[in-house]
Structure 1
Amino acid sequence: MERDEVYVPKTRSDLGIPEVPNHEIDWDEYFGDTPIYTFFMLMRQQFIAFPAYLIMNVSGQKDYPAWTNHFDPNSILFTKGQRNRVIVSNLGLLAMAWGVKYSCAKYTAAAVLKYYGIPWLLVTHWFIMITYLHHTDAELPHYRGKEWNYQRGAAATVDRPFLGWQGRFFLHDVAHYHVIHHFFPKMPFYHGEQATQYLKAFIGEHYAESDKPVFSALWETYNKCQFVEDEGDIIFYRDKHGQAVRRPAAAYRAK
């Protein structure tokens, strides 16, 4: 919880849910949205979450200072050695913004929307869908304090057969073999499949994978993963009725 950079779960207190037994809570007051509204909010996540994260650190680490973003060279997100690269990146974005403006004037805004705007939104959608489903699942634990270590944090993600052969070919196995990337982030993608077989044998039951169709998984995950408890060093997501698919062993539960 303290070390995640993105998709940090909301807590009970973040949503203003009182610390009382589930049967005493009117869950519809907090999550009683119609399916149409839930779908709208999911689409908002798919198309707006990425720029919102870059600009305002939405869903990012809560302990970071206010106004943390990816465009400030002095942001806590970057080391001193990365600051000049952030400046160069910002200059590139300004050049691209000028190019978009120029293209609108020369080719019309409708043409730019068709050939640049809509593809950009679709790329954002796929990027968010892939990373969200990698790091968000009701079966995955989250850790606080002394219960976290590198190995546990690395294993707290899930491999998914994203779009079948198309995902493997066009996305270079980024979704199929993502867990191994957490353990060895510098490994070339083309070793992912082979290395994953060794990792699965080594970490056994701690390896997570799902073969659920990704669009079904997206809808299910968005509805099931609502919040985590404020207390406890090993925690799992709870759904719209305050129920968790998994619970930590008794010794690790919040008192």
Structure 2
Amino acid sequence: MILDQHQSSNYSQIQSQQYHSKSRQIETEEQIVKFTIRQDFLNLLAIAADYQAGLNLQGSQKNMEQIITMLHNKLILQVNLSSSIHLDQQQQCKNSPQLNETLIKEKRDVENFLKSIIKEKKFAPQIEKHLKSYLDNCLNDYPRLVNDPLNPVKNKAEFNQETIQKLFCSISQTDQKYSDIQRGKVQAKELSQSDIDKHIEERLHAAHHKLQDRQERGCNICQLI
């Protein structure tokens, strides 16, 4: 009898440990979904802000056509990439009601943020077109793959060491954030409309100065990352 009680107690402990372990795993996966959707949205807005900064300078700076085309292409590429990310997230979450619910909620939050941005006309019409594509194809409950073609560029693309280092640094930082989330060190940062507005303004300001500096140095390549 005592042995049976001991075995029952051990079994209960094992069940409890398994439950808490599974619960932690689900919480971690939820945080990864949140981070992925939010970061992708912020990436989109950053590149849209770069493009907007280029358009703002177009009338006052010379030889901006090539830069404008490259900035436009970056936005096209980002929407194409975002559609793949959202498709992947749908596949990852479809077999888990809890994760799928988290994914849908994140999409609705981003959708509301983006609709507010579009309503306030923060970006030029040629940028807004791509934001609406993101809205329709990526934030849909059943995302669709976008594969819009790039605009032709006159000059051959050039990449210097500084640009490559910045790219690798950005990838490394993102990987580190995923690692920290998986280890339970951090959680996905919550987004607010004021945070998003600040993100856009800061990126616009930074891109404006980079583009002006490029013009002053006579640089023919776009190094906005």
Query: Shared fold by TM > 0.5?
Result: no
| Superposition TM-score, scaled by structure 1 size | 0.25
Larger radius of gyration: 2
| Superposition TM-score, scaled by structure 2 size | 0.27
Greater relative CO (CA pairs within 8 A, separation 6+): 2
- Bigger helix share: 2
